[in-house]
């Protein structure tokens, strides 16, 4: 199989997300990183490309230089897709330009910093024939796909409640003026957008709840706070959701919970059974039902209880743990399948897709927007 | 040490709480169960007393017969205290009568079904010299006392957030018309009071958050639902709290989470460290702090890290697990110390006490009341 | 039900086992502690009785004074049974005397310090009509009884392997010359017998393996060591067992594993399923079978999967954890049932019994003896 | 950095190990898979190469064709190293040929099926200047390197005991005559060598114990059995080791423990602290010390407690779990560093190396050999 050619925009700084994109996209040897514009600083953009193995002539000084230059290359050589790993406020502009230039797009979340931009991007993506994938990577874990399929098949009955929480603690230690690395732009409303931890981790949590439950909010309310000394953006909050089927949702986000590293967890209560899962122990899914032993489903492609999408998302037998990179790679792998179809002039399957799309991106921005509105209105319920 | 004499009111039915009171109160051989009025049904009240080892002549047909008869006994023989394990709607009447008759009182929660009754009971208890203890038994766990002392000593810095959740699943299986046992009166607003699971488990969760954090709410909002088919009372809900120090609280309660047995858990976030604990694994407390290894504090009276109140609440060395009965017994043991002081004409130490008092009972009823008010007002914030 | 009258011999020192006996025996209010000879030091024997609530006139200066005096009391008043919580080397003498004096006996383990004594005690107990129970208390946990019943019913197929490990770490901190409390006599071969940790924890582990698997060794080999600086007795060892059905057994014991408190665990492999359990999390039993989800059986008297003996051993609903005292109390409760039968002139059920008997005691001493023999013979296999 | 060129021998069958080599070696984009002889069946060897992305002209029909052909290619184009993922009995022959042909070698374990072959291979490797790495991949986990460094630095005092266990259960479900895939050659003594599960998983366990503890056996004894119906080779066993410093070792291996997937765990007891780790939860290392809280070390390159080798082995921040592929890739990455040095004519650092070498391979075969000898001699101690 010919490898797809990847261009990486952003990701050359102190953070780790650029390397995650490069590793995840190439994990299955289905893609190759051929070009990059890894920083908004032209010099850094070029120097940062070296450890990524990008040829100097395709290490661009800016994203528009990249888009322009790559567009001009021969079709069998030019980048097939761009991955956008830049600060939030630039996603809209870069993604729009990339789509217009005819590239498939894989974009970090939150997709945009305003709902208006998100809606524009939906229209643009829909009117183009390009693939647009959003890296809500936690939905790439095999057992989250298992959970989604179990819910969709009615195995837990009707969903009555979802609780999802995403807790980190690093903000207690970050002083963005002292260490201009991770966290710097995340504390700057101009670059980060108006939602702080809400955007950084809350939107991941919300997406996972939607992905697994298949539910859409009808109304929500939110209360948030800022407890660390480093910025004015929220770093802790709750949203209570009334879903369209009358289920109750709860989203909790925090980047000020001491000692928590990347503690994303989800619980889904149904009328017949309940599910729970934790990102830091991603190879186990707990299934509970009144009066029965708690069951631990392993990520295990050879187990009879594993669902088709879970099996398809595995690379290793049970007990040989898979983790973050593989989940991230699953978003890429699914998007690649659509890119190959488009490149071959074939139709792509209709939504819902296993990989997060521009619509999921808009829902995330809507969640962020509604939470901020509710918070500013004394936690009043907001129509979705 | 002479044993205190216990009279048990209620607890003779299909539930297990009567046996819990009898076992917990006598665990340390500091008390003896001498009298009982174990049911509102006179015949059952007498027959149920036999397996408890209560002498037939002190197995009363009603609680007022018990109070009257025991009052007339010689002081060295009459019951010292009554334990009230009846349906919620009778707590106020029985507890008031017992206090007036000169008995110390140990009462189940929620203390009353209305805030007005709670306030009256506070006044009555304060004007009497009798001990009044409420069985918020989960605060009797050694590691919850460790947590309280760590918070009070500033070991986790300022508290910024508390999350407490109490999930059970048994309501999926209860049909109160078919099985007139547990759950029957709990589904009847007349006997249970207006808060369903909110009163049954939510008030426990709220008390634990208060006990450990030492915080008092300033305002709260709530959203609740009824998902099981058995009654109209709430069986699932959330309350979001703004505490007096601007910390955020979250209380989640559910009796419809499939497969959860008695899953009470608490997390307390401070500016220097965070704590977490689960009732079903009560011998471990997790202490986390940014950049340091997670620490597991064991219930261990011989460990240098154990706090005085934690050590005092232990009966066994570390690794020899203690559990529900011992925690419940700790509430009794602490109340006994005050009863002995009062009986000996000595002053009792001022609040705060380690065992839950009539004030804690009122706070629980206030929590329940404010949650119901908020829910009825579209989740508006309620002043505490 | 009339309470059985208990006399406690030993247990008045710095250790905790005396209190464990007193609490466990009276937990269900089926027995009352009426007499004691709590120390080999006459003065201490009397003073130590006070906190146990033993009347001064029944606080004896020695065990023989106790046996003699209690024997002379009226039958409706004299002790029904003696509990022996003394150093190992006195078990044989005291238990023999108690049986001869007509008392039922509950004895700590290891039963004796020599196999010859153990065999004599078996004969004595068999020729008497008294109940003899040994406090291998870990077999009193409900889920160990569940495991035993599952194995006996063939639910895991044929047992092919058992691994049991009992690890503690306190011996790193014990200097018996400095602190003449716990550990002092345990480091003295005269008082402890020739097996150190082998006797103290190894025999518990071996008993649990036998209790659950129902297997008897055919041969065994052992290797042991002494790593702490406090004595010459073993404090670490392994025994490999060939069971009568060709299953492989492994017993590991240690009192020098840093930070382990009372870490007894067992794994049983069958041809159809495998079980695992840990004493420090006693309310969960893991059941695993190839290709199926791991199942967690809870200690839960209301669950359909719970076996009769497990249900009978519970006092509380699932999720309300039970622990060490209750397991210990189950040994007493089962022995009480036989004592009542004997006292009433009724026959007692035949072996196997749920509580450990004098035969189990002898098997424990045999295990200890064979391990020492193997170790002394360069780990050669020893015929059982 | 120029990528190293990889040739894969074996790994094209039903098993997963070929894909593991390909993915792990290329994870960091430091190597590229350019050639393969993926099966001993010439046709299959060619067809299996396609999904690996190997160009048809470098998909060879046999390993000797590969070695010969690649040797003749230009130095800037020929394979730098061969990875050997074939049945055990061919390792010696292929590895020897590859070394002689001038290729660096990465070889699966056990290295050979006889000790004599292992010794010959050591001599050959030593007399060549080629890098020889053995994929005892579990030593590639960051926290196993942390453990090794903690032990080496004396942080746990002197090692007194090591317990390592490797349990799987798949052999209950394998019928090699029916499914000629995984397990088929592993049940054939001709292809597998004389040690069954001992070779397949026992040698991994032994290596990990050596890697972390730094100890070498002085004597060992072993007992093993064959419980599944599929072959005559061992599938369950124990080895007891006396290490050179008088520490006690225990190695347990099983492929018949129902429901265990890939349950490799290690415990190391020192005179100051003890460590424990489980491969299926590889991102946590437990550190215990008498009287102190249990500490959980996370795989976390940003934590102050992380050791240099652990940090160097991480690709992601704490809480973003890494797993099997990354550990496997660490063996490759370390070997690559030496290959690059050799290719550049630079000296390589002396042993000990972080990646397993030909010496570790010989130790593994020695372990296997001594266990079999002991077992055949009624579990007598064997001199190492």
The chain A residue lying nearest D168, using CA atoms, is: A319
Query: What percent of chain D is predicted at pLDDT more than 70?
Result: 97
E-assigned strands of D123-216? 132-134, 159-167
C335: confidence class by pLDDT, cuts 50, 70, 90: very high
C172 interfaces chain B, CB cutoff of 8 Å:
no
The answer, for A173 touching chain B at a CB cutoff of 8 Å, is yes
Domain match, C97 and C151 both = no
Cβ atoms D235, D227 nearer than 8 A: yes
> Which residue among C293, C296, C305 places its CB closest to the CB of A305?
C293
Task: Find chain A residues with C-beta within 8 A of C303's C-beta.
Answer: 291-293
CA distance C220 to C202: 14
Provide the shortest C-alpha distance from residue B186 to chain A (in Å). Answer: 19
The pLDDT score that the predictor gives to residue A185 is: 73
Distance of residue A30 Cα from the nearest chain D Cα, in angstroms: 9
CA angle A230, A235, A239 (to 5 degrees): 165
Residue pLDDT, tens place only, D257-305: 999 999 999 999 999 999 999 999 999 999 999 999 999 999 999 999 9
List CB contacts of A180: < 8 A, sequence separation 6 or more: A14
Q: Is B130 near chain A, with CB under 8 Å?
A: no
Q: Is B206 within a domain?
A: yes
Q: Please provide residue A270's backbone torsions phi and psi, each rounded to the nearest 5 degrees.
A: -115, 175
* Together in a domain, D65 and D121: yes
Residue B167 contacts residue B173 (beta carbons within 8 Å) = no
Q: CB of C340 within 8 Å of any CB in chain B?
A: no
Q: Are residues B163 and B102 in the same domain?
A: no
Q: For A325-334, what is the mean pLDDT?
A: 98
Q: Domain range holding D370?
A: 140-320+364-376
Q: Which residue has the tokens 């349950």?
A: D263
Nearest CB to B293; choose among D291, D302, D305: D305
Average confidence (pLDDT) over D23-43: 96
Burial status of residue B376 (CB atoms within 10 A of its CB: 0-12, 13-18, 19 or more): exposed
Whether B371 and B351 share a structural domain:
no
- The pLDDT of residue C180: 46
Average pLDDT over residues B56-62: 96
A170 CA: distance to closest CA in chain B (Å): 7
Same domain membership, residue A60 and residue A13: yes
Is C383 inside any structural domain? no
Residue whose C-alpha is closest to residue A166's, from A255, A286, A269, A228: A255
CB A95 within 8 A of CB A9: no
Poorest-pLDDT segment among B126-130, B225-229, D226-230 = D226-230
Q: Is residue D383 part of a domain?
A: no
* Pairwise CB contact (< 8 Å): D291 & B302: yes
- Same domain? For B227 and B275 the reply is yes
The residue whose two tokens read 């690890």 is C167
Specify the pLDDT at position B274.
98
Determine, yes or no, domain membership for A325.
no
pLDDT at D177 over 80: no
Task: Report the pLDDT averaged over residues B73-94.
Answer: 96
Residue A300's CB is within 10 A of a number of other CB atoms, namely 24
DSSP SS3 for C11: coil
Helix (H) or strand (E) holding D193: none
- Which residues make Cβ contacts (< 8 Å) with residue D262, sequence separation at least 6? A317, A318, A319, A320, D168, D279, D280
The answer to whether residue C114 sits within a structural domain is: yes
Tell me which DSSP letter residue D294 carries.
E
**According to the model, what pLDDT value does residue C194 have?**
85
Residues of A in Cβ contact (< 8 Å) with B237: 248
| pLDDT at position C164 over 80 | yes
pLDDT digits (tens, 9 = 90+) for A222-252: 999 999 987 789 999 999 999 999 999 999 9
The pLDDT of residue B127 is 94
Is A317's CB within 8 Å of D261's CB? yes
Say yes or no for a CB contact (<8 Å) between C292 and A303.
yes
pLDDT-derived band at B152, boundaries 50, 70, 90 = very high
**Residues 6 or more apart whose Cβ sits within 8 Å of residue B174:** B182, B183, B187, B228, B230
Indicate whether A117 pLDDT > 80: yes
Closest Cα partner for B327 from B141, B107, B188? B141
Instruction: Say whether both C277 and C203 belong to one domain.
Output: yes
- Predicted confidence (pLDDT) at residue A114 exceeds the cutoff of 70: yes
Domains held by chain D: number = 2
> Does residue B30 fall inside a structural domain?
yes
B321 interfacial to chain C (CB closer than 8 Å)? yes
Residue A327 lies in a domain: no
Contact criterion met (CB < 8 Å) for B293 and D302: no
- CB atoms closer than 10 angstroms to residue C284: 18
Alpha-carbon gap: B320 to the closest alpha carbon of chain C (Å): 6
Would the CB atoms of B304 and D291 count as touching at under 8 Å?
yes
pTM: 0.97
| Interval A368-379 mean pLDDT | 97
Alpha-carbon gap: D88 to the closest alpha carbon of chain C (Å)? 26
Average pLDDT over residues A328-355: 92
Smallest CA–CA distance from D222 into chain C, residue: C240
Q: CB within 8 A of A123, min separation 6: which ones?
A: none
Is a pLDDT exceeding 80 seen at residue D381? yes
User: pLDDT tens digit string along B232-251?
Assistant: 899 999 999 999 999 999 99
- What chains are in contact with C, requiring at least 3 Cβ pairs below 8 Å? A, B, D
Pairing of strands C284-288, D382-383: unpaired
| A120-145: average pLDDT | 97
Q: Chains touching chain D at 3 or more Cβ pairs under 8 angstroms? A: A, B, C
The mean per-residue pLDDT over the stretch B19-28 comes to: 96
Confidence (pLDDT) at D125: 96
A280 touching D, CB under 8 A? yes
Q: Are residues C123 and C149 in the same domain?
A: no
Owner of token pair 């159809």 = C272
Kindly report the nearest CA distance between residue B261 and chain C, in angstroms. 5
- For C224, the token pair is 């042991």
Query: What pLDDT is stored for residue B180 in this prediction?
Result: 46
Measured between CA atoms, the residue of chain A closest to residue C298 is: A293
Residues paired with residue B219 on neighbouring β-strands, in sequence order = B242, B383
> What is the domain-level CATH number for residue B128?
3.40.50.720
Contact B291 D303 (CB under 8 A): yes
Q: Is residue D186's pLDDT more than 80?
A: no
Q: Is the pLDDT of residue C376 over 70?
A: yes
Are A192 and A228 found together in one domain?
A: yes
Q: Grade residue C177 by pLDDT with cuts at 50, 70 and 90.
A: low
Q: What is the pLDDT of residue B333?
A: 97
> How is residue B191 written in tokens?
């006997």
Q: Phi, psi at residue C254, to the nearest 5°?
A: -155, 140
Percent of chain C residues past pLDDT 90, beyond the cut: 89
Cβ-nearest to A289 among B236, B240, B259: B259
Calculate how close chain B gets to A322, using CA atoms only, in Å.
23
> C145 and C111: one domain?
no
For the stretch A149-195, pLDDT in tens is 999 999 999 999 999 999 999 999 866 555 545 556 777 777 777 88
The whole-number pLDDT of residue C2 equals 86
Is the bond into B263 cis (omega within 30 degrees of 0)? no
Tell me the per-residue pLDDT of A135-152, one tens digit each, with 9 for 90 and over. Answer: 999 999 999 999 999 999
Q: Is A295 on the interface with C (CB under 8 A)?
A: yes
Q: What is the CATH number of the domain that holds A235?
A: 3.30.360.10
Query: Model confidence over B179-195: pLDDT tens digits?
Result: 545 556 777 777 777 88
Query: Residue C269: pLDDT above 50?
Result: yes
Residue of chain A minimizing CA distance to C295: A295
Beta bridge partners of D219: D242, D383
Query: 3-state class of B99 per DSSP?
Result: helix
Q: Are residues A154 and A120 in the same domain?
A: no
Q: Which two tokens stand for residue B121?
A: 């009971």
Tokens representing C313 are: 């051993």
Both B145 and B134 in one domain: the answer is no
In this prediction, residue D180 carries a pLDDT of 46
- Interface check for A381 against chain B (CB to CB < 8 A): the answer is yes
- The reply to whether B291 touches chain D by the CB within 8 Å rule is yes
């Amino acid at each position: 199989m010919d490898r797809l050619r990847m261009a990486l925009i952003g990701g050359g700084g102190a953070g780790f997300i650029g390397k995650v994109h490069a590793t995840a996209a190439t994990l299955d040897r289905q893609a190759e990183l051929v070009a990059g514009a890894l920083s908004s600083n032209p010099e850094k953009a070029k120097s940062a490309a070296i450890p990524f193995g990008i040829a100097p002539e395709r290490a661009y000084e800016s994203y528009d230089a990249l888009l322009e230059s790559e567009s001009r290359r021969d079709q069998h050589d030019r980048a097939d897709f761009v991955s956008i790993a830049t600060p939030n406020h630039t996603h809209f502009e870069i993604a729009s330009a990339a789509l217009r230039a005819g590239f498939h797009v894989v974009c970090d979340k939150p997709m945009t910093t305003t709902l208006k931009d998100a809606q524009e991007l939906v229209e643009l993506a829909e009117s183009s024939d390009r693939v647009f994938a959003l890296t809500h990577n936690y939905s790439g874990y095999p057992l989250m796909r298992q959970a989604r399929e179990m819910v969709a098949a009615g195995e837990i009955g009707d969903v009555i409640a979802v609780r999802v929480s995403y807790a980190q603690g690093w903000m207690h230690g970050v002083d963005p003026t002292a260490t201009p690395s991770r966290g710097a732009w995340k504390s700057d409303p101009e670059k980060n957008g108006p939602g702080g931890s809400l955007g950084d981790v809350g939107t991941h949590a919300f997406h996972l709840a939607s992905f697994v439950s298949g539910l859409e909010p009808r109304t929500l309310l939110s209360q948030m706070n800022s407890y660390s000394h480093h910025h004015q953006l929220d770093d802790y909050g709750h949203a209570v959701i009334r879903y369209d089927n009358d289920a109750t949702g709860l989203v909790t986000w925090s980047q000020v919970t001491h000692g928590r590293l990347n503690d994303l967890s989800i619980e889904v209560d149904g009328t017949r059974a309940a599910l729970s899962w934790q990102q830091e122990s991603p190879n186990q899914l707990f299934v509970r039902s009144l009066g029965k032993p708690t069951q631990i489903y392993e990520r295990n492609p050879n187990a009879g209880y594993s669902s088709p999408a879970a099996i398809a998302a595995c690379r290793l037998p049970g007990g040989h743990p898979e983790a973050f990179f593989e989940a991230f790679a699953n978003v890429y792998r699914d998007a690649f399948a659509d890119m190959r179809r488009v490149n071959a002039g074939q139709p792509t399957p209709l939504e819902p897709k296993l990989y997060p799309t521009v619509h999921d991106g808009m829902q995330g921005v809507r969640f962020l927007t509604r939470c901020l509105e509710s918070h500013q209105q004394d936690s009043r319920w907001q129509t979705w």
